[in-house]
């Protein structure tokens, strides 16, 4: 009986560990992860998920927000009450591109929301964002 409890504990712990993994695999998971990172100005979390062509945009935003403390503070204040939800994930038939529709909710604007489509491409078997976040 004791060994069954231990096995059950190990199984549940491994499921919890797997669900908390930092490795987002689907376009929807990646979209969620990068928008949380963007709200926190966590550029290092975002970088691995971007196509090469969008890296300059991110690095420019990183430089501006790192060098300008006031601007970074304004940015954090403007996004702190924004929440988001994935509305849909559409993967192409060839599975090499995808679009994730996200809806953003602004708590301070009487439940106003805005939807955006985020483009993804698959490069070397991994989903990358082809969208300017900043």
* pLDDT value of residue 130: 87
Question: For residue 90, what is the enclosing H or E element?
Answer: strand 82-91
**Residue 15 scores a pLDDT above 90:** no
For residue 10, tell me if it sits in a domain. no
Distance CA 7, CA 87 (A): 38
Task: Give pLDDT tens digits for 42-87.
Answer: 889 989 999 988 888 888 888 888 888 888 888 888 888 888 999 9
The answer to whether residues 100 and 120 touch, using CB atoms and an 8 Å cutoff, is yes
The CATH number for 64's domain is 3.10.450.50
Q: Number of structural domains, the chain? A: 1
For residue 46, tell me if it sits in a domain. yes
* pLDDT value of residue 94: 96
Regarding pTM above 0.75, the answer is no
For residue 6, tell me if it sits in a domain. no
Q: Which domain holds residue 81?
A: 26-129
Quick one: average pLDDT of 113-130? 92
User: How far apart, in Å, are the Cα atoms of 56 and each of 68, 88, 119, 133?
Assistant: 18, 28, 17, 11
For residue 95, tell me if it sits in a domain. yes
For residue 8, tell me if it sits in a domain. no
């Amino acid at each position: 009986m004791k060994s069954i409890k231990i096995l059950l504990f190990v199984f549940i712990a491994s499921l919890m560990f797997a669900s908390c993994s930092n490795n987002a695999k689907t376009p929807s998971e990646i979209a969620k992860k990068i928008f949380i990172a963007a709200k926190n100005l966590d550029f290092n979390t975002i970088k691995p998920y971007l196509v090469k062509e969008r890296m300059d945009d991110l690095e420019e935003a990183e430089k501006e927000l790192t060098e300008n403390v006031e601007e970074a503070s304004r940015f954090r204040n403007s996004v702190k009450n924004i929440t988001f939800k994935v509305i849909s994930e559409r993967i192409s038939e060839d599975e090499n591109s995808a679009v994730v529709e996200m809806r953003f909710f602004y708590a301070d604007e009487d439940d106003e929301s805005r939807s955006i489509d985020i483009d993804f491409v698959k490069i070397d078997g991994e989903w990358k964002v082809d969208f300017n976040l900043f």
